[in-house]
Structure formats: C-alpha cells, structure tokens
Amino acid sequence: MSNLLMAVDRFSTWIGKFFAWTVVGLTLLISWEVFSRYVMNNPHAWVLDAQIMLYGTLFMFAGAYTLSKSGHVRGDVLYGFFHPRTQATIDLVLYILFFLPGIVALTWAGWTYANESLAMREQTFNADPIPVYPFKFVIPFAGGVLLLQGLAEIVRCVQCLRDGAWPAREEDVEEVDVDKLKEMVHVKDADIEALDKYVIPAAQRQEGA
C-alpha cells in the first residue's frame, strides 16, 4: 500500500511539474503580445483568451500536486498542536463530507460541460475566435487527478489512525533548514557571533563616515 501511495504522489508531482511549463508559454506569449501591440502596433484579440486558458490549465493541474505535498491552506493555529490521530480524524471527516462530494461533482459536471462544448465546437467571442473545448476538457481531467490524490490522502488518514503516525509521502521542494545548512558548511554559532562582532561595528563606522 505504501508503494501505491508513493506512486500516486509521484504521478501527481509529474503532472504538476509538466503543466508548470505553461508558465514559460505564458511568459513568451505575453512578451510577444506586448511587443506586437506597442512596438508593431498590431494587437491580437485572441491573446487574452489564450492567456486565461493557459493560466487556468496551470491552476487546475496544480491542485493534485499541492495536495500530494500537503501544501493546501489549512487552519494550523490549533491543528498543528493536535496528535496525529486527532489530525487524521479531522482530515478524514472533512475529506468525506466536503472533498469527495465536491471533486466528484466537479469531475462529473466538467466531463458533461466539456463534451457539450466539443459538440458545438465552442469558440471565444472576439474578433479572432479560438477553440474553447480543448481547454474545457482540462476541468474533468484535472478533477480526476485531484480525486485520485484525494483518495490516497484518505488512505493515509486511515493508516495514521491505525499506526498513530503519518505515513511517508513523496518529497519535493523543502524550506531551508538552518541547522542542517550549518552542518553542511561546517559553521558553528561561535563563528557567526565572531563575524557579527566584526561586521556590525564595521558597518556602523562606514555609516558614520
């Protein structure tokens, strides 16, 4: 089961990182449009719609990635002080009552929504229309990936209730651990204090000068 959960984490991570490249597309598209509009005096009506679609795609597929890293916003004021089993109980209840119904509805309705858009070959409403239906298929697919990651999180809650500790998850970007950084560069607190005693007076003398 642990290997399966880690596989789901890796899949969500890969999806998130893959669609993160839309940032590059957004940057190039906006830069080109700014140049074309203000330098060449040749604006394009479809670019704004394309920007919205690219950003929407990035935002939708970031959901499962963020959930796999336990990065979604939560009320940590009290939650962080609870024991793992209490945390798991709260998470499990919220997943069942709110997450599952909402994401299932999003995925189901999104699939219907996208197919209706495909059937009518829906386009944007401007001087230079572009197809909308490819973007609308992002909704059910992103919802499905998020649902898969949510099921993995529910299993983690059950394991935590059983074992009393949270199971491992796929790691990615971590915040800087100052103590670990000191060990890596072989710096001691005494060295930092000595450096402060030298740097701060020197800076004060420079300001006085």
pLDDT at 203 over 50: no
Which is higher by pLDDT, 70 or 116?
A: 116
DSSP state of 98: I
Cβ contacts of residue 4 below 8 Å, gap of 6+?
152
- pLDDT band of residue 109 (cuts 50, 70, 90) is very high
21-30, 47-56, 113-122, 191-200 — which is least confidently predicted?
191-200
pLDDT of residue 201: 55
Nearest of 160, 140, 170 to residue 70 by alpha carbon:
170
CA dist., res. 99 & res. 95, Å (int): 5
pLDDT of residue 94: 92
Which is higher by pLDDT, 133 or 201?
A: 133
pLDDT at 82 over 90: no
Average pLDDT, the chain: 84
- Specify the pTM: 0.76
Alpha-carbon distances of 143 from 24, 41, 127, 198, rounded to whole Å: 23, 40, 32, 56
Cβ contacts of residue 151 below 8 Å, gap of 6+?
8
C-beta of residue 61 within 8 angstroms of C-beta of residue 139: no
DSSP state of 97: I
Q: CA torsion angle for 110, 112, 116, 117 (degrees, to 10)?
A: 10
Contacts 24+ apart (CB under 8 A), 123-130: 124/46, 124/49, 126/45, 126/46, 126/49, 127/45, 128/44, 128/45, 128/46, 129/46, 130/46, 130/49, 130/50
pLDDT of residue 166: 85
